[in-house]
Amino acid sequence: MNEEGFEQSDLVMRVATQVICHTLVNCQDLFLQERFAVAHAILQRVMTTHLCNHKLTKEGLVYEYKGQPFELHEEYKTMTLTRTVYEHLAMFYFLFEHPKTDEERETVWKNWQSDNWREMISFSQAWRYLFKNKEMASFYRQLSMHCHPMYQGLVQYQNQDVADEGNAAVPLFFSSCFLAQLTRLFLKQVPDGWDMLRKEFTERELSTFKGLSQMCKS
């Protein structure tokens, strides 16, 4: 993966970490609201998942064989992590962003609490609301194919090229975009959140962050 991709991922993680820590330290009163606490928990989980994605993409997988390091070539190794980030972004959107009235918000929240969330618009169709980009229509299917023991996915695994030609970087890039978008949505719930970020990051860094948060949109 080129260095730019890691730099973008690192920037998004620094912004997300700033938001997470700022709210924990300075916005304790907001955690008295259950919905805010849940929203923050989603952001934390996505942040840690993306961090695993970043480290795994950068460091790779190494086994030991007869006392020697034996690198495992696996260009799809972080697909499951990216899929998890995508699903959390979709759930956050449907819980906190998509409902437009108090009644809708309450209905969605109660359905989610009672584990009836599968009745909400599915993960495979979330792209229609999150991105409005037809190129993302098959994205969830692609992620799932490499996360489950499906024939087509296993055939691709078996036939993967020794030189992945940068394909290993693709899941991390999308994960960076999804974490950036989730962080941007969460900031709507933090008083003066953007002002706080402007004190910690340069305009160029924030411009890059905003660009990544909208990268997958049409």
pLDDT, one tens digit per residue, over 121-153 is 777 788 888 887 777 888 888 888 888 888 988
Tokens of 82: 């990216």
What mean pLDDT, rounded, does the chain reach? Answer: 89
Residue 190 has pLDDT above 90, yes or no: yes
Q: Does residue 51 sit in helix, strand or coil?
A: helix
Predicted confidence band at 119 (pLDDT cuts at 50, 70, 90)? Answer: low
Torsion angle defined by CA atoms of residues 46, 51, 57 and 58, in that order, rounded to the nearest 10 degrees: 160
According to DSSP, the residues that pair with 71 across neighbouring strands are 62
According to DSSP, the residues that pair with 68 across neighbouring strands are 65
Which pLDDT does position 29 carry in this prediction? 95
Proportion of the chain above pLDDT 90, given as a percent: 56
Higher pLDDT, 159 or 15: 15
Please give the DSSP secondary-structure letter assigned to residue 38: H
Which pLDDT does position 83 carry in this prediction? 94
Residue 162 has pLDDT above 80, yes or no: no
pTM of the full structure:
0.90
Predicted confidence band at 3 (pLDDT cuts at 50, 70, 90)? Answer: confident
Higher pLDDT, 82 or 113: 82
CA angle 176, 182, 188 (to 5 degrees): 140
Q: Are 75 and 160 in contact (CB under 8 A)?
A: yes
Residue 198 has pLDDT above 60, yes or no: yes
Q: Does residue 167 sit in helix, strand or coil?
A: coil
Residue 94 has pLDDT above 80, yes or no: yes
Residue 45 has pLDDT above 80, yes or no: yes
